[in-house]
Amino acid sequence: MAREAPPAPPEGLFYPGADAAAEAERRTASPNPGADVLVDMHRGAWSRRTLLRWAGWGTILALVGQWLAGFGVFFWPKKVGAFGGEINGGNVSDFQIGDVKLVQDAKAYLSRVPEGIVALWWKCPHLGCTVPWKPEDPSMDSIEPKGRFNCPCHGSIYDRYGNIIQGPAPRPMDVFPVTIREGKVYIDTNPTHAIQRTSDTVKTFPVNV
């Protein structure tokens, strides 16, 4: 009487079955297990390695894009009327010699001196504090008896030209380029266009009106 063949082991956790065994054998034989598995896409078939490569490049490009966007916000010229672009500072006829006018949108003061008009950036060259104009303080120039710039952070004092008179600031206040068109004063507030001066050159930058 013929002997019956032993029953096949049940499939389960410890008996994965013939299909799983074949898959395990294929992976063992491959030098890069999983790299040759094709992933069906809408168009064609891409390998897992290709997908990972594209994902990596996408992440790098996203980071570079964010960095360029932040860089551009500060350095790229903005629209007219906003800081970073050209701002109308008022009529030339509104300024008398000795006048100092705050132009809030420009973050600057327009100072009318005998040589013309100068746009002083309110940022202290020492540590970047905002420098206020003190119209009732004793003057540091011979133009008027009162009025000077006085930095509240470390006590740097400037005259109507923005020249440093005393304090820790390393140089005079920086100036923005000024143009006169049709009787109006226009200030170029792009920070990359700001001009650094020395005490010997402060009187050469006012624009003649």
Tell me the per-residue pLDDT of 66-120, one tens digit each, with 9 for 90 and over.
Answer: 777 665 555 555 555 688 999 999 999 999 999 999 999 999 999 999 999 999 9
- Residue pair 148/139 in contact by the 8 Å Cβ criterion: yes
Q: Is the pTM of this model over 0.95?
A: no
Cα distances (angstroms) measured from residue 112 to each of 98, 117, 126, 193:
6, 5, 24, 21
CATH no., domain 86-204: 2.102.10.10
| Domain spans in the chain, listed from the N-terminal domain onward | 45-76, 86-204
- Which range, 14-18, 65-69, 75-79, 178-182, is most confident? 178-182
Q: CA 131 to CA 156: how far, in whole Å?
A: 9
- Residue pair 162/124 in contact by the 8 Å Cβ criterion: no
- Give pLDDT, residue 53: 77
The fraction of the chain above a pLDDT of 90, given in percent, is: 57
Helix (H, G, I), strand (E, B) or coil at 171: coil
